[in-house]
Amino acid sequence: MTAPLPTRADEAYRYADIKALGEVWDDLSAPEAIEIAAHKKLQQIWMPSGDAIDVKRAAVTIAEGATFDLYALNCADRYGRIELDVTLHEGSDFTFHAANVGSGDATLEVVTFVRHIAPGATSTQTVRTVLGGKATGTYLGQVAVAREAQKTESEQDVKAMLLSREATANAKPELEIFADDVACAHGATVGELDAMQLFYAQARGLSPEDAKALLLEGFIGGLWDELGEEADIATLARTKLRELTR
């Protein structure tokens, strides 16, 4: 039996497009289970499906000493959602690099719940959002550190760039810490392209569109450094950014 459709009373769906979600909810089974065995390494790259409504959900378990690197691009035309529930065991590592890129009336969300339940694990989340038109982009991320999870290291780095005064960015990184020997930090900023940087780029002969695209590529390009600039996800991200500047 399909679970009831969430409402905005549920914090994890506070900014969701519930109408769009309802159109695919019956097709959504339980979140995909991803398990990384002890001391193993796994890398995944989540590319957009191309569907106007694109929802990806995963429950991730990272065993002792294991590593999981996840890269994701969220750019559905209507509604895109990436939802993660991650559990880290002793000495494990989780790295997440994601981008929301959208325009028009798109609603794009990254929602994460990262659970540190044992000592010495690390988690790093880096999320960049670029929005034009009337698009809405959201990051909701909670990191929970259990009392037993001493020596935890966790960071959430969230930044959004708005290309239109009608676009909206929401950012809510959260920490819930019960251990007393941890290094945890989070930060979130929302801004616009720097007018002086645009002027400088255009003064060097770039068109306004190319100048914007160059700055935007710099804004999110670092997400894909480990993959290389020719990686499919990096190439598609550049294409989507250039579409926003036309």
- Tell me the C-alpha distance between 235 and 229, whole Å: 7
Give me the percent of the chain exceeding a pLDDT of 90: 83
Please state the pTM of the whole predicted model: 0.94
- Tell me the C-alpha distance between 104 and 97, whole Å: 24
Instruction: Establish if 182 belongs to a structural domain.
Output: yes
- Tell me the C-alpha distance between 244 and 217, whole Å: 12
- Render pLDDT for 64-92 as a digit per residue (tens, 0 to 9): 999 999 999 999 999 999 999 999 999 99
Instruction: Establish if 112 belongs to a structural domain.
Output: yes
Instruction: Establish if 160 belongs to a structural domain.
Output: yes
Length of the chain as a residue count? 246
pLDDT above 60 for 1? no
What pLDDT does residue 24 have?
94
- Tell me the C-alpha distance between 60 and 95, whole Å: 12
Average pLDDT score, the chain: 94
In our burial notation (b when 16+ CB lie closer than 10 A, e otherwise), range 185-208 reads: ebebebeebeeeebeebeeeebee
pLDDT above 80 for 199? no
Count structural domains, the chain: 1
Print the domain residue range for 33: 11-192
Instruction: Establish if 109 belongs to a structural domain.
Output: yes
217, 209 Cβ separation under 8 angstroms: no
Instruction: Establish if 136 belongs to a structural domain.
Output: yes
- Tell me the C-alpha distance between 20 and 18, whole Å: 5
Contacts of 27 (CB under 8 A, 6+ apart): none
pLDDT above 90 for 58? yes
What pLDDT does residue 208 have?
76
Hunting for tokens 């009608």 — which residue is that? 166
88, 121 Cβ separation under 8 angstroms: yes
Give me the percent of the chain exceeding a pLDDT of 70: 99
Instruction: Establish if 176 belongs to a structural domain.
Output: yes
Instruction: Establish if 123 belongs to a structural domain.
Output: yes
Can you read off the two tokens belonging to residue 59? Answer: 């429950």
